[in-house]
Amino acid sequence: MTDTSQTKRALITGITGQDGSYLAELLLDKGYEVHGIIRRASTFNTGRIEHLYQDPHDSEARLFLHYGDLTDSSRLVTLIDKVAPHEIYHLAAQSHVRVSFDEPEFTGNTTGVGTTRLLEAIRMAGIETRFYQASSSEMFGATPPPQSETTPFYPRSPYGAAKVYGYWMARNYREAHGMFAVNGILFNHESPRRGETFVTRKLARAAARISMGLEKYVYMGNLDAVRDWGYAPEYVEGMWRMLQHHEPDDYVLATGTAYTVRDFADHCFARVDLDYRDHIRFDEGYLRPTEVDALIGDASKAENALGWKAETLPPQLADIMVTAELQDLQK
Ligand code: NAP
Ligand code: GDD
């Protein structure tokens, strides 16, 4: 660990995920010492942060990885006590909505109670820190758009319900214990680092592979769902801004635009001069028992208070993602 009293230390749970990897980049660029919690796995799960890896024996190293899990309270207490971070970004979760219907209990344990374990670990360690909770537009569920910080929650999945619980726990630690705890209510945000089973990455990947003759069809579920898709690197900047604000509060981050899954498919396939209708087949296995029909965010509070505004809109996002897939295939 570097020992300069000026250096800010951040702890990221979920550093190996899409957002964690972009956030680690951002914080390292800003001069932070970054600590990340990773899960022990029998295969490497650090692919998204490989380019950031620094040998911890190097005296200049500012990135440190620690084994840990959201289900292991004592480990969270020890780690927080040892690292004593100035800022904690809690991004780790079972984050797949469809999977949460198959694994509701596990999702509740990690995505929901995991937040409580972390908040309680901070309280037990007795440190002064700022806490970011990765809340989600999925919490709005069936409540019609536009959705803002004052929109009532109506979760439609075990994942959404677990995130509502995490949201209220962060609020409660703020109100009950005076903790600087912030909820970032983020609408869908994507990138070439998005997990391959989320819809944008699945479509971008399929369009690229089909255009190269590697596959003919991709099997999809509901193409009529409306989402507000932004670009992940911009959203992690918003997370950081929330923790720099003079007081803790809750903020929506979104583009305010509405596209259907079908629109996104159209943009991805048009990028490689194909018609999506020739290549998409229906598989009911990708439907959800309860669907969230439309998410469209109103991020005006974040714009006014934090000066944050989404720049990249879905057509450009589709272009970025398909281009990255094509480049990968040409390696
Ligand atoms: P992601 O790519 O699925 O990353 C999830 C991270 O959590 C991974 O690093 C994963 O580790 C880790 N993790 C899962 N279970 C864990 C456990 N039991 N203990 C410790 N770590 C665990 O998710 P993301 O897209 O980056 O999203 C980051 C956060 O924002 C999540 O909480 C998500 O629910 C929330 N969110 C995302 C969006 C979005 O559109 N991306 C929108 C709103 C909210 P492995 O790499 O080992 O699997
Ligand atoms: N994954 C997937 N796969 N989704 C499909 C498919 C398919 O084959 N076909 C249609 N969809 C539809 C889903 O039914 C959903 O309406 C929409 O595409 C988006 O699905 P996902 O990309 O899986 O994202 P999500 O909106 O359910 O959840 C993501 O965004 C939330 C924020 O609103 C995740 O990142 C969550 O972690 C996040 O909180």
pLDDT of 208:
98
DSSP H or E run through 26: helix 18-29
Same domain, 61 and 153: yes
> Nearest 5°: CA angle at 17, between 228 and 110?
90
300 labelled catalytic? no
Q: How far apart are CA 158 and CA 102, in angstroms?
A: 9
Q: How far is CA 317 from CA 47, 171, 232, 325, 329, in A?
A: 22, 33, 10, 12, 19
Q: How far apart are CA 62 and CA 155, in angstroms?
A: 39
Please tell me the distance between residue 278's alpha carbon and the centre of ligand 1 in angstroms. Answer: 33
pLDDT of 247:
98
Q: What is the pLDDT of residues 225-236, one digit of tens each?
A: 999 999 999 999
Q: How far apart are CA 35 and CA 76, in angstroms?
A: 13
Q: How far apart are CA 161 and CA 150, in angstroms?
A: 17
Looking up residue 222, the CATH number of its domain turns out to be: 3.90.25.10
Please check the confidence at residue 54 and state whether its pLDDT lies above 90: no
136 labelled catalytic? yes
* Domain housing 139: 9-190+231-253
DSSP H or E run through 207: helix 199-211
pLDDT of 1:
53
| pLDDT band, very low/low/confident/very high, at 296 (cuts 50, 70, 90) | very high
DSSP secondary structure of 72-134: -HHHHHHHHHHH--SEEEE--S---HHHHHH-HHHHIIIIIHHHHHHHHHHHHHT---EEEEE
Q: What is the pLDDT of residues 204-228, one digit of tens each?
A: 999 999 999 999 999 999 999 999 9
Same domain, 179 and 208: no
Same domain, 182 and 222: no
Ligand of minimum distance to the alpha carbon of 200:
2
Same domain, 129 and 248: yes
Q: What is the mean pLDDT of residues 257-262?
A: 98
- Give the list of residues 6+ apart from residue 290 with CB closer than 8 angstroms, or none: 142, 156, 157
Same domain, 38 and 60: yes
Same domain, 279 and 135: no
Please check the confidence at residue 121 and state whether its pLDDT lies above 70: yes
In the chain, the number of structural domains is 2
Q: What is the mean pLDDT of residues 284-296?
A: 98
Ligand of minimum distance to the alpha carbon of 225:
2
Ligand of minimum distance to the alpha carbon of 92:
1
Please tell me the distance between residue 318's alpha carbon and the centre of ligand 2 in angstroms. Answer: 15
pLDDT of 284:
97
pLDDT of 324:
98
Q: Pick the residue whose CA is nearest to atom 32 on ligand 2.
A: 188
Please check the confidence at residue 3 and state whether its pLDDT lies above 60: no
Q: What is the mean pLDDT of residues 161-187?
A: 98
Looking up residue 182, the CATH number of its domain turns out to be: 3.40.50.720
Could you give the percent of the chain with pLDDT greater than 70? 98
Asked if residue 20 has its Cβ within 6 Å of ligand 1, the reply is yes
Same domain, 218 and 173: no
Please tell me the distance between residue 98's alpha carbon and the centre of ligand 2 in angstroms. Answer: 8
Which one from 32, 89, 159, 259 is the annotated catalytic residue? Answer: 159
| pLDDT band, very low/low/confident/very high, at 74 (cuts 50, 70, 90) | very high
The per-residue pLDDT of the chain, averaged, comes to 97
138 labelled catalytic? yes
Q: What is the largest CA-CA distance in the chain?
A: 60
Same domain, 244 and 271: no
| pLDDT band, very low/low/confident/very high, at 38 (cuts 50, 70, 90) | very high
